[in-house]
Structures are given as structure tokens and as C-alpha cells.
């Protein structure tokens, strides 16, 4: 192993938190600056390192079951949004909700609710069990059909006409492929592209970014849907791309002396974590 790698390391300026995550974390930190603790329904962001930083400050992560037994407390709703039943429970349990739902998600929830109220059959292209998708399905009293792969619809009896929506962090290309495939199967599809442009614009940004480096480290939490999609983009345009969640997962053997290394991340990856990765690489 060489004594000194002399790596040239650059962080992608377009990577890091999207505005929805920034908004939720700012709200949490503002409250924790004045109070000892704050409950948060689910992980505030799909990044274990950032969640640990905030739980050390007093953020208490709870699930829906724990929420049922909570009374007269403050609870943060994260950027992913929640189903109407959560707001109903908050009223019953006299909870104060600090609502940090992302505006893009709220707008989508509203559109889905309107479609449901108009008796449209709704299909949602999204990840099963994902917090945002549960909130979206909640707008339809659980009647929307959720699928994450089109093959799941092969044996489903669908009406001749339906309305198609997407989780905000899905791949735009994939959404349009699905829309076209459903039309080719003979359905009348009212397709609504509801993918967040702050996310989809990163595909093009990443394509350009990763092409400039010998090696690429993509930093993301393993639970991040958006992280998986963006890492695939990195890998497609630079096959020397590696997925890591923290500095412990870096393998020195990936690098050669004088490599140019690019660091990028998901919309849930904090900038401080990418800076940490950079500092680690510069120490080689």
C-alpha cells in the first residue's frame, strides 16, 4: 500500500439536503434550543448519522403505536407528511403538532384527495411502506393501489380508466416508462408527474459531476429511497462509484495514488457528513 495517496477530493455542491429536509431539521433544532426534548414521528430524515446527532440534542423518535399512548405533548411531523388519521389522533390526544410536511408533498396529498373525492381509481408509483406513500394512501381511505414495480399490476384487475400519481422522490424516467407501458396495455391513463424537481434535477447534475472523477463516493443512509435512485445514476455514468453511509465503510483499496475523487449524496445526506468523508480521504 502506498504511504501517501495524495488524493484530490471535491464535494458536489448540488448534493445534500433538499429544502423540505432543511425546513424540518431547522424546526426541530429551533425547538430543541429552548426545550429539553421533542417527539418526532418516525426518523426525521433517512440518515442514521444525522438522526443520532439530533437525538443527542433531545429529539425522541417514536412510531405510530407510541403516538397512540402520548397525550398533551409536542410532536414533529417530518417532511414525508402524514395521513389524515394522524391529525385526528392528535386532536383526540391533545397533542400539539409541529408540522414540517414538505410543501411539495402537501400539494400532492391535496391533489390525490381531490381525485379520490371525484371517485377516480388511483394508482401510486411508490415504495411499499414508505412514510410518504402511507400518507398519500391515507388521502384515499386506503383505496389507492400502490406499486413499486409494474409487474405487480400484471394480475390486478384495473378499470379501463384511472389516475396515476408518483411518490415525489421516484425516477422521472421510470415514471414515464410506466405511464407509456400502461397506455400500451390499452388503459386510459390520466398521468400526473408529481416528482419533486429538486430531486429529479439532481440526476442531470450528478451525470455531469461523476464524469469528472476517477472514483466517486456516494454518501447516503441505507433507508433512503432517493439515495438508491441517485446512486444508480452515479454507477451508470461512472462505474467506479461506491455507496457508503459513514467513514467506517470506506475501503482504502478502492483508490490509487493521485486519484481525483468526487463526493456526492442524497437529499437526506448532511453536508457535515460529506465533509467528514473528505477529511478522511485527505488523511490517506
Q: What is the DSSP string of 144-198?
A: SEEESSGGGGTT----SEEEEEE-TTS-HHHHHHHHHHHHHTT-EEEE-----HH
The mean pLDDT of 264-279, rounded to a whole number, is 95
Q: What is the pTM of this model?
A: 0.88
Last residue of a domain, one of 78, 101, 124: 101
Mean pLDDT of 275-282: 96
Q: Is 269 exposed, middle or buried (0-12, 13-18, 19+ CB in 10 A)?
A: buried
Task: Give the separation between CA 7 and CA 258, rounded to whole angstroms.
Answer: 5
Assess whether 73 and 141 both reside in one domain: no
Q: Which of 195, 214, 237 marks a domain boundary?
A: 195
211 is a domain residue? yes
What total of structural domains would you count in the chain? 3
pLDDT at residue 2 tops 70: no
Say if 274 falls within a structural domain. yes
Q: Are residues 161 and 143 in the same domain?
A: yes
Looking at the fold, whether 84 and 38 belong to one and the same domain comes out as yes
**Whether residue 62 sits in one domain with residue 74:** yes
Could you tell me which of 168, 55, 182, 190 has the C-alpha nearest to residue 122? 190
Same domain, 167 and 111: yes
Q: What string of DSSP letters covers 104-145? A: HHHHHHHHHHHHHHTT--EEEES-TT-HHHHHHHHTTTT-SE
For residues 226 and 106, give the distance between their C-alpha atoms in angstroms, rounded to a whole number: 18
- Compute how many other C-beta atoms are within 10 angstroms of the C-beta atom of residue 233: 22
- Find the CATH number of the domain harbouring 38: 3.40.50.11270
Looking at the fold, whether 205 and 182 belong to one and the same domain comes out as no
Which sign does the torsion angle of CA 157, 159, 160, 161 carry? negative
Strands 145-147 and 260-265 come out as unpaired
Residue 87 included in any domain: yes
Residue 58, Ramachandran bin (φ over 0: left; ψ between -120 and 50: alpha; else beta):
left
Q: pLDDT class for 226, splitting at 50, 70, 90? A: confident
Orientation angle between helical segments 225-237 and 197-210, nearest 10 degrees: 30
pLDDT tens-digit map of 148-185: 999 999 989 999 999 999 999 888 889 999 999 999 99
Q: Domain of 228: which CATH number?
A: 3.40.1010.20
Residue 5: per-residue pLDDT: 85
Catalytic positions, written as ranges:
132
CA–CA distance from 256 to each of 59, 76, 152, 250, 252 (Å)?
A: 41, 45, 44, 14, 9
Instruction: Mark which of 174, 195, 216 sits at the end of a domain.
Output: 195
Residue 92 and residue 110 in one domain: no
230-259: per-residue pLDDT in tens?
A: 999 999 999 999 999 999 999 999 999 999
Inside any domain, residue 3: no
Q: H-helix or E-strand containing 219?
A: strand 215-219
| pLDDT tens for each residue of 52-78 | 999 999 999 999 999 999 999 999 999
The grid cell for 271 is 453536508
Residues 16-49 pLDDT 10s: 999 999 999 999 999 999 999 999 999 999 999 9
Residue, of 88 and 226, whose pLDDT is higher: 88
CA distance 218 to 280: 14
Identify the domain containing residue 261 by its residue range: 8-16+198-282
Q: Are residues 183 and 203 in the same domain?
A: no
Q: Is residue 2 part of a domain?
A: no
251 and 277 in a single domain? The answer is yes
Does the residue 164 lie in any domain?
A: yes
Q: What is the mean pLDDT of the chain?
A: 94
Kindly state whether residue 1 falls inside one of the protein's structural domains: no
Q: Which of 267, 279, 216 is nearest to 50 (CA)?
A: 267
- When computed from its CA atoms, the radius of gyration of the chain, rounded to whole angstroms, is 21
Same domain, 36 and 86: yes
Residue 51 and residue 91 in one domain: yes
Q: Is residue 243 part of a domain?
A: yes
Amino acid at each position: 500500500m502506498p504511504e501517501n495517496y495524495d488524493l484530490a477530493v471535491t464535494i458536489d455542491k448540488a448534493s445534500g439536503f433538499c429544502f423540505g429536509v432543511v425546513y424540518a431539521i431547522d424546526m426541530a433544532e429551533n425547538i430543541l434550543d429552548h426545550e429539553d426534548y421533542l417527539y418526532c414521528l418516525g426518523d426525521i430524515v433517512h440518515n442514521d448519522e444525522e438522526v443520532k446527532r439530533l437525538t443527542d440534542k433531545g429529539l425522541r423518535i417514536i412510531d405510530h403505536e407510541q403516538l397512540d399512548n402520548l397525550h398533551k405533548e409536542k410532536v414533529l411531523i417530518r417532511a414525508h407528511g402524514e395521513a389524515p388519521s394522524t391529525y385526528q389522533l392528535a386532536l383526540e390526544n391533545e397533542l400539539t403538532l409541529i408540522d414540517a410536511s414538505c410543501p411539495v408533498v402537501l400539494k400532492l396529498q391535496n391533489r390525490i384527495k381531490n381525485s379520490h373525492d371525484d371517485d377516480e381509481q388511483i394508482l401510486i408509483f411508490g415504495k411499499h411502506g414508505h412514510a410518504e406513500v402511507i400518507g398519500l394512501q391515507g388521502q384515499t381511505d386506503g383505496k389507492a393501489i400502490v406499486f413499486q414495480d409494474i409487474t405487480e399490476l400484471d394480475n390486478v384487475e384495473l378499470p379501463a380508466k384511472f389516475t396515476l400519481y408518483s411518490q415525489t422522490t421516484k425516477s422521472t424516467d421510470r415514471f414515464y416508462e410506466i405511464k407509456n407501458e400502461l397506455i400500451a396495455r390499452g388503459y386510459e391513463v390520466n398521468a400526473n408527474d408529481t416528482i419533486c424537481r429538486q430531486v429529479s434535477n439532481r440526476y442531470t447534475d450528478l451525470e455531469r459531476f461523476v464524469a469528472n472523477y476517477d472514483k466517486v463516493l456516494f454518501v447516503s443512509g441505507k433507508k433512503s429511497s432517493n439515495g438508491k435512485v441517485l446512486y444508480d445514476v452515479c454507477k451508470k455514468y461512472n462505474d467506479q462509484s461506491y455507496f457508503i453511509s459513514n467513514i467506517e465503510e470506506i475501503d482504502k483499496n478502492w483508490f490509487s495514488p493521485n486519484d481525483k475523487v468526487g463526493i456526492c449524496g442524497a437529499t437526506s445526506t448532511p453536508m457535515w457528513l460529506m465533509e467528514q468523508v473528505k477529511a478522511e480521504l485527505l488523511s490517506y
